[in-house]
Amino acid sequence: MKDEKKRGRPRGFDPKAALGKARDVFWDRGFAAASLDNLSAATNLNRPSLYGAFGDKEDLYLDTLEGYRQDGMDVLIEALDPSLPLRDNIARVYAGALAIYLHGETAARGCLLIGTASAEAVQHERVREVLGRSLNDFDDEIEKRMRLAVERGELPRSADPQMLARLASAVMHSLAVRARAGDSRETLEAIARSGVEMICGSAP
Amino acid sequence: MKDEKKRGRPRGFDPKAALGKARDVFWDRGFAAASLDNLSAATNLNRPSLYGAFGDKEDLYLDTLEGYRQDGMDVLIEALDPSLPLRDNIARVYAGALAIYLHGETAARGCLLIGTASAEAVQHERVREVLGRSLNDFDDEIEKRMRLAVERGELPRSADPQMLARLASAVMHSLAVRARAGDSRETLEAIARSGVEMICGSAP
DNA sequence: CATATTTTGTACCGTTTCGCATTAAATTCT
DNA sequence: AGAATTTAATGCGAAACGGTACAAAATATG
């Protein structure tokens, strides 16, 4: 269903791969400081090709954010596999986050959304919307697992799934910020372990 | 000791006030998207005056970050007044943070450091240094109070002051990000309350 | 009052920015 | 084969950018 031959000259590049390269540029430099020349060089696409395929710079940025959000949700859902104990789930969420955050040429990149979209969120409403939606979707997914934990007795009946989820997310937000601030992997892993303990302290 | 009359023409403006206006510009737009025209307009200073007083744009930005950091530390230290119960201390820390974060023309501004310095942290080493140092100083100040709480018996002997402090900070980092993402004051206050409960749960 | 020194305001310089106009190339449809 | 359609490459252009040169203004010193 994707090979319906289109009429004109075919694309000489893979839009998904190009989006991945653009994402790296935005990740390192942020939206405002990433120039179309940077993006053009990284993607090996001329500016008109970029423009034709993705729209203007803000459109391109929003596309990369959407893709990142989706990838993140996939990682999250896999980490929250309900056949595992809650404690393992949360530990896997943090491990998955750190695997993404601790990767950069000069310095760790942290989270694309928290690290770069936050900066634009005040002035660019569409960016703020994606950021807010992403955070909420993450919370909701964790909350689902927390509710299940209460039903199963992994957590006491008195536990508040929504608040536990938001606090679990909070630790992840902190990991994102601290990674970009230059904290060591050891420090971040220690915080993640403490976070698991704090969130799942009452779980077996 | 500040009126040692200097030789040339005296300044026609208050550098501290100008720095405050510049801070607002960076807070709303971030570093990269804030132009010297924006800063010049907000401070009512010509670009040469700005340059003469603070150096180039990055110097000016770093100055605003330093000032913000210092102000934040003052608020934090006041909130952590050791004559109050630990629970009140942490609640005051979050209340103080939200008072700063929830203030903006178009949308809430969140934290200047977390919201804007994070974006530049990967590429600008000096910004990363200020950000990292700020986060650490905050952690350390809270940790001091946590240690006191253990000594006093407000927390069990088994409590880990460093980790409790880092988790208390984590909730604040999350408040900063969520404020900038557009979360309501009610939501943020609920998270803050849950954070207090989670951190001080075992405290009287 | 003249000179030295610092700040202020205007105007400008070279670069970089984003976006597009235009033309050449590659493919499908008739 | 030729028309139609889509993509690719070059390059342009108007605007915005950060930073500064320069001269006028304001103060202290001698």
CA of A160, closest CA in chain B: separation in Å?
10
Taking 60 as the threshold, does the pLDDT of residue B203 lie above it?
A: no
Quote the CA–CA distance of B196 and A60 in Å, as a whole number. 40
Please name the amino acid found at residue A164. Answer: L
For residues B53-72, average pLDDT: 97
Nearest C-alpha in A relative to B201: A198
Q: Are B165 and B156 in contact (CB under 8 A)?
A: no
Taking 70 as the threshold, does the pLDDT of residue B27 lie above it?
A: yes
Report chain A residues whose CB lies below 8 A from the CB of B30: 30, 32, 119-120
Quote the CA–CA distance of A148 and B118 in Å, as a whole number. 35
Check residue B190 and give its pLDDT: 98
Structure tokens at B48: 């040469």
Q: DSSP labels for A93-127?
A: HHHHHHHHHS--SSS----HIIIIIHHHHTT-HHH
Check residue B177 and give its pLDDT: 98
Report chain B residues whose CB lies below 8 A from the CB of A115: 118-119, 121-122
Strand C close to A6 by CB, under 7 A: yes
For residue B90, give the nearest of B172, B186, B180 by alpha carbon: B172
Looking at the C1' of nucleotide D18, which residue has the nearest alpha carbon? B36
Residues around strand D, C-beta < 7 Å: A 6-13, 45-49, 52-53; B 5-10, 34-38, 46-48, 51, 56-58
Check residue A202 and give its pLDDT: 62
Confidence of residue A8 (pLDDT cuts 50, 70, 90): confident
Quote the CA–CA distance of A125 and A173 in Å, as a whole number. 21
Quote the CA–CA distance of A170 and B188 in Å, as a whole number. 11
Taking 70 as the threshold, does the pLDDT of residue A203 lie above it?
A: no
Check residue B196 and give its pLDDT: 98
CA–C1' gap, B41 and D29, in angstroms: 35
What b-and-e string marks burial along A142-173, b requiring 16 or more CB atoms within 10 Å of the CB? bbebbbbbbeeebbeeebbbbbbbbbbbbbbb
Q: Lowest-confidence range among A100-114, A187-201, B180-194?
A: A100-114
Nearest C-alpha in B relative to A192: B167
User: For residue range A184-202, what is the model confidence (pLDDT) as tens digits?
Assistant: 999 999 999 999 999 998 6
Nearest C-alpha in A relative to B134: A181
- DSSP H stretches of helix in chain A: 15-33, 36-43, 47-54, 57-79, 86-101, 112, 118-121, 125-152, 161-180, 185-200
Report chain B residues whose CB lies below 8 A from the CB of A111: none
User: For residue range A49-105, what is the model confidence (pLDDT) as tens digits?
Assistant: 999 999 999 999 999 999 999 999 999 999 999 999 999 999 999 999 999 999 877
For residues A137-142, average pLDDT: 98
For residues B152-166, average pLDDT: 96
Q: Hey, what's the torsion of the CAs at B194, B195, B198, B203, to 10 degrees?
A: -100
Confidence of residue A2 (pLDDT cuts 50, 70, 90): very low
Is the Cβ pair A194, B163 closer than 8 Å? yes
Strands in B55-137 per DSSP E: none
For residues B18-35, average pLDDT: 98
Between positions 27 and 56 of B, the ones with CB within 8 A of A are 27-33
Quote the CA–CA distance of A66 and A54 in Å, as a whole number. 13
Between positions 59 and 98 of A, the ones with CB within 8 A of B are none
Check residue A5 and give its pLDDT: 65
The closest nt to A47, taking CA to C1', is: C19
Q: Are A62 and A107 in contact (CB under 8 A)?
A: no
Check residue A6 and give its pLDDT: 74
Please name the amino acid found at residue A26. Answer: F
For residue A117, give the nearest of A33, A167, A61 by alpha carbon: A61
Quote the CA–CA distance of B33 and A127 in Å, as a whole number. 14
Mutation target for B interface from A167, A193, A197, A199: give the one with most B CBs within 10 A: A167
CB pairs under 8 A between A and B: 166
Quote the CA–CA distance of B174 and A75 in Å, as a whole number. 20
Nearest C-alpha in A relative to B103: A122
Mean of the per-residue pLDDT values of chain A: 94
For residues B29-53, average pLDDT: 96
Quote the CA–CA distance of A32 and B47 in Å, as a whole number. 21
Q: Which letter does DSSP use for residue B201 in this model?
A: T
User: For residue range B88-98, what is the model confidence (pLDDT) as tens digits?
Assistant: 999 999 999 99
Domain annotation for chain B: domains and CATH numbers? 63-200 (1.10.357.10)
Identify the burial level of B46 via C-beta atoms within 10 angstroms of its C-beta, where 0-12 means exposed, 13-18 middle and 19 or more buried.
Answer: exposed
Q: Find all residues with CB under 8 Å of B181, minimum gap 6, and list them.
A: A118, A121, A128, A131, A132, A135
Q: Look at the block and give the residue holding tokens 């090996």.
A: A44
Q: Hey, what's the torsion of the CAs at A167, B128, A132, B94, to 10 degrees?
A: 40
Check residue B107 and give its pLDDT: 80
Is the Cβ pair B190, A132 closer than 8 Å? no
Protein-nucleic contacts, chain B 78-97 to strand C, CB < 7 Å: none
